[in-house]
Amino acid sequence: MEANCHNLSGSDLTFVGLRNICDSIPFLSEYRVVIVEDLLSSFNRRGNLRKSVGTNRSKIPASGNRMSTWDGLSQYISDLMPQTTMLVFVDSSLAKDNSLLEQLKGLVTVKELTPLIGEPLRRWIKTQVGKKGSSISADAVTLLSELMKGNLWALENELEKLSLYAGDRPIGEPDVLLLVAQAKDANIFAATDVLLEGKCSEAMHMFHLIRNEGFEMPYIITMIARQLRQVVLTRDMLNQGASESDIGNTLGISHKFVLRKTIAQARNQSLVGLKWLYSKLLDTDLAIKMGRLSQDVALDILIGDSNEAHSIH
C-alpha cells in the first residue's frame, strides 16, 4: 500500500524527521518501508574534499557539525526503531571512508547493484522474452538495450507488451519502433530509411502511422530534410575515410541506432538521387503552403516520387 511506503530525499532530511516517519505503525500492513535517497553519499569525505578545492576552507561548514546531528542513528536503528519498519538507504556512490556508513557497520547490509549495460543487458532481455514464451531478433534486442538503457522495470513492461503483440512470431525491430514509447523519436529515421530504399508501400504505411500520431506534414518534411542533410554529410565524411565515431561526434548523433541507419543510408544512396529528393521535398512543402494539395495527398505523391529518386545514379 502507498500509505506504508515513503521516499525521502536525504538532502533536506533531519534525524528527527526520519525518526517520526520510522516510528509510525504501518496501516493495515505488516511493514512500513522507508526509502532514503542520497543521505549517506553526502558524508563521502573525499567528495567533501573535492568540493573544497579552490575555495576558502574556513567558509565551508565542518562536516563534523552535520555528522553530530546524526550521531544517534546507529543506536536508534539497533534499539529503538520498530521491527515493523524496513529502512533502506539508496545512494549512487559511496566512498569506503564514508563517515555515516562507518557508524552503521554491523547494523546494515550493503548491496552494490550495478546497472546492466552492453552484452549483460542484451542477455537479460533475451532471457526475459524467453520466460514469456516468445523470441526476439538480434536487431530488436540491440535497439531495446539502447533505448531503455538499464531501466529494467520499464523494460519488463515493454517486453510484456511486445510479447503479446508479436504472438507466435519473433519480436522484431519494427515492433519496437511501433510500440515502445522511447522509440517514437526514431520512427522518422526508420521511415526515411524505407523511403530512400524506394519501398513505397512500406513507407506509405509508416508515414501514415506517424501522421496518425498527430504529426503535421510540415514537421515530417522538416525531419526528412534534416535526415537527408545528415545522409549527405555522412556520405561526404565516408568518402574522406571518417570512422563511425567521428561521424557521430561531428553530426551530434549520440543514438547508435540512428547513427547506424544514417551511415547505411549514406552508403546506399547517390548524391544525385538525394539532391533530386531534396527538390521534391521543396515542391511538396510549397504545394501544401499554397493550398494546392492537402497534407495526406502531398505525402502520398512524395512517397510515390521517392521510388524514382532511388533509381537515379
Same domain, 293 and 219: yes
108 within a domain of the structure (yes/no): no
Inside any domain, residue 109: no
Regarding whether 295 and 223 lie in a shared domain, the answer is: yes
pLDDT band at 159; cut points 50, 70, 90:
very high
> Is residue 144 one of the residues assigned to a domain?
yes
Indicate if 291 and 198 belong to the same structural domain: yes
Q: Is position 220 within any domain? A: yes
Q: Are residues 54 and 154 in the same domain?
A: no
Q: What is the CA radius of gyration of the chain?
A: 28
Residue 59 has pLDDT above 50, yes or no: no
Question: What is residue 312's predicted lDDT score, i.e. its pLDDT?
Answer: 54
pLDDT of residue 182: 63
pLDDT at position 111: 86
Tell me the CATH number at 250.
1.20.272.10
Question: Is the Cβ–Cβ distance between 313 and 272 less than 8 Å?
Answer: yes
Shared-domain flag, residues 7 and 91: yes
| pLDDT recorded at residue 52 | 31
Number of domains in the chain: 3
Mean pLDDT of 152-172: 91
Residues 207 and 276 in one domain: yes
Instruction: Flag whether 175 is in a domain.
Output: no
136 in a structural domain: yes
State the CATH number of the domain containing residue 62: 3.40.50.300
Q: What is the pLDDT of residues 129-148, one digit of tens each?
A: 999 999 999 989 988 888 77
Q: What is the average pLDDT score of the chain?
A: 82
What range does the domain containing 148 cover?
Answer: 118-170
Name the residue with higher pLDDT: 178 or 259.
259
183: confidence class by pLDDT, cuts 50, 70, 90: low
Residue 188 domain-assigned?
Answer: yes
Query: Which of 103, 135, 161 is the last residue in one of the domains?
Result: 103
Question: Using one digit for the tens of pLDDT, what is the confidence trace for 280-293?
Answer: 888 888 999 898 98
For residue 158, tell me if it sits in a domain: yes
**Helix boundaries (H) for the chain:** 15-22, 45-51, 63-68, 73-75, 99-103, 118-131, 138-148, 152-166, 173-179, 184-196, 200-212, 217-239, 244-251, 256-268, 271-289, 295-311
pLDDT in the model for residue 55? 34
| The pLDDT of residue 58 | 38
- Give yes or no: residues 227 and 291 share one domain: yes
pLDDT one-digit tens code per residue, 201-217: 888 888 888 888 777 88
